[in-house]
């Protein structure tokens, strides 16, 4: 590659764009065309994090006393500026992360809507007042912001994820140190620039960019950090929880999933196939909420397999900036290699590749990380592929002989994020919602969540208060109980 100077970006600490103490940078490429460099970003060191955390703590002492309405005004200003830049930010997202432009626009548009809901929550930071057993005593509880929050975000939703952590924190009166995924830092830079335009006080929001292996543990374990909101893999979530536990630091962990879709006693299989394929292969399957397992009763199995395979074979792959493409690339070659290896193991275990199964590396695909949308059939529930998260464009189809067996298969995994059932039977629907082990359940629709509803999982998919919706205040605030003798 020829020598060329690319745009260099820096950290944002205490209201200023600041070069890392390391003075070292790394480059980020477009996964659709890795010869296209998006920019160069700082390789931050612990000293950079120390400065950001200390400034965030200093800012917290004043920000926590800022009226809730005033904090909301900053967020409303941000949402308006974000709306003014939907297309620009979506294009950056598409080039940096690879998802199709229509999905990128949808992500930014949703971020605008959610930011306005979050702003409105500032004036709903409710407590309770209860009668006292004593004469002349008032008993009440209020919500108090927890302090400096470390926001550690993933690469698969690089606009929506930071906004779901930064804005609830500042709404509640906390301050933030944001550490975005090293694969997709530019969107976080732009989000921070938009926040800067609101004239939010210095130190309330800080951005530090770098490799998690270098600065992640330091950020999580710093004694001034009172909360860690993390979205990412279960393995990293485990490590964060271990570090945070040493100081009893509050954690909100959104982790992996192996999300099932159960199908039984259902006539509208064409609609079901559409819902499943969209929920599986959106963002090339790189979604923690993606449907990755179809568990179908024998009566519908042949027809549903045929419909799903037909749709997948008609998928168009390519650069996300082409509006005609259904699916873009994976994030990097490591992701491609992992998906390939998991398919190879599954086939050795007896699964059959019914569609896809290959990396694309010829012609228009040769400079990107493209992998065919893949469907595996003849999958037994005992196989590793039936239980392990792959985080790529892979759907496994498992047959069940009864509804009860289908529910048992659904629960036979360490994960419990989200699930779906497609059925015309209300008995199946209600029994499934009661018995399935997942934090979120969908009846006759895919696994899309809504921005005013709580979002989270159980088992190894989540820990701590659910995010989004009214439950955001449960993480970013602590209860303080006050007894006042007034007589």
Q: What amino acid positions are annotated as catalytic residues?
A: 254, 288
Residue 456 to residue 51: CA distance in whole angstroms: 32
The Cβ of residue 458 has, within 10 Å, a number of other Cβ atoms equal to 14
d(C-alpha 160, C-alpha 154), whole Å: 10
What are 409's two structure tokens?
Answer: 């298969």
Q: In the structure encoding, which two tokens stand for residue 271, read together?
A: 């609609």
- Distance between CA atoms of residues 31 and 380, nearest Å: 34
Instruction: Extract the tokens encoding 316.
Output: 């168009």
23 CB burial (10 A radius; 0-12, 13-18, 19+): exposed
What DSSP line would sit under 311-322, residue for residue?
HHHT--BS-TTS
334 dihedral zone (left: phi>0; alpha: psi -120 to 50; beta): alpha
Closest by Cα among 94, 74, 92 to 194: 74
DSSP one-letter code for 124: G
Concatenate the DSSP letters of all residues of 180-245 into one string.
--TTS-HHHHHHHHHHHHTTPPTTSEEE--S-HHHHHHHHHH-TTEEEEEEES-HHHHHHHHHHHH
Helix (H) or strand (E) holding 16: strand 16-18
Residues ≥6 apart with Cβ < 8 Å to 80:
none
In the DSSP assignment, the letter for residue 8 is B
Task: Dump the DSSP string for 346-402.
Answer: HHHHT-EEEE---EE-SGGGTTS-EE--EEEES--TTSGGGTS---SSEEEEEEESS
Contact 286, 444 (CB under 8 A): no
CA separation for the pair 278, 389 (Å, rounded)? 18
């Amino acid at each position: 590659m020829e020598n060329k100077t690319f745009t260099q970006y820096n950290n944002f600490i205490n209201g200023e764009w600041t070069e890392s103490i390391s003075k070292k940078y790394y480059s980020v490429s477009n996964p659709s065309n890795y010869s296209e460099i998006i920019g160069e970003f700082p390789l931050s060191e612990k000293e950079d994090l120390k400065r950001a955390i200390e400034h965030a703590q200093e800012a917290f002492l004043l920000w926590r006393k800022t009226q809730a309405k005033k904090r909301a005004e900053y967020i409303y200003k941000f949402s308006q500026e974000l709306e003014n830049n939907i297309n620009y930010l979506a294009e950056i997202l598409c080039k940096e992360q690879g998802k199709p432009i229509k999905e990128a626009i949808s992500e930014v548009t949703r971020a605008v809507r959610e930011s306005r809901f979050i702003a409105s929550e500032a004036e709903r930071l409710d407590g309770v007042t209860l009668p006292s057993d004593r004469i002349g005593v008032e008993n009440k509880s209020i919500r108090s912001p927890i302090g400096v929050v470390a926001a550690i975000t993933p690469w698969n939703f690089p606009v929506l994820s930071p906004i779901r952590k930064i804005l609830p924190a500042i709404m509640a009166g906390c301050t933030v140190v944001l550490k975005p995924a090293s694969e997709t830092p530019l969107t976080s830079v732009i989000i921070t620039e938009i926040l800067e335009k609101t004239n939010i006080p210095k130190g309330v929001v800080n951005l530090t960019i770098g490799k998690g292996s270098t600065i992640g543990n330091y950020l999580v374990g710093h004694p001034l950090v009172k909360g860690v909101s993390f979205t990412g893999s279960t393995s990293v979530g485990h490590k964060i929880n271990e570090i945070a536990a040493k100081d009893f630091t509050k954690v909100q962990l959104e982790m992996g999933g192996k999300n099932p879709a159960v199908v039984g006693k259902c006539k509208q299989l064409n609609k079901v196939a559409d819902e499943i394929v969209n929920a599986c292969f959106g963002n090339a399957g790189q979604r923690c909420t993606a449907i990755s397992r179809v568990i179908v009763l024998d009566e519908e199995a042949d027809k549903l397999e045929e419909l799903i395979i037909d749709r997948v074979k008609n998928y168009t792959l390519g650069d996300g900036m082409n509006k005609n493409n259904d699916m873009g690339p994976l994030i990097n070659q490591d992701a491609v290699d992992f998906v390939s290896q998991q398919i190879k193991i599954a086939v050795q275990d007896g699964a059959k590749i019914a569609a896809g199964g290959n990396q694309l590396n010829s012609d228009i695909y040769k400079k990107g990380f493209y992998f065919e949308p893949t469907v595996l059939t003849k999958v037994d529930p005992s196989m590793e592929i039936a239980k392990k998260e792959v985080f790529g464009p892979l759907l496994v189809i498992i047959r069940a002989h009864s509804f009860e067996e289908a529910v048992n298969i659904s629960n036979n995994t360490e994960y419990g994020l989200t699930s779906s059932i497609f059925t015309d039977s209300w008995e199946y629907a209600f029994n499934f919602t009661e018995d399935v082990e997942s934090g979120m359940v969908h009846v006759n629709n895919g696994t899309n969540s809504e921005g005013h509803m709580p979002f989270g999982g159980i088992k190894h998919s989540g820990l701590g208060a659910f995010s989004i919706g009214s439950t955001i205040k449960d993480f970013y605030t602590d209860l303080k109980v006050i007894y006042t003798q007034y007589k």
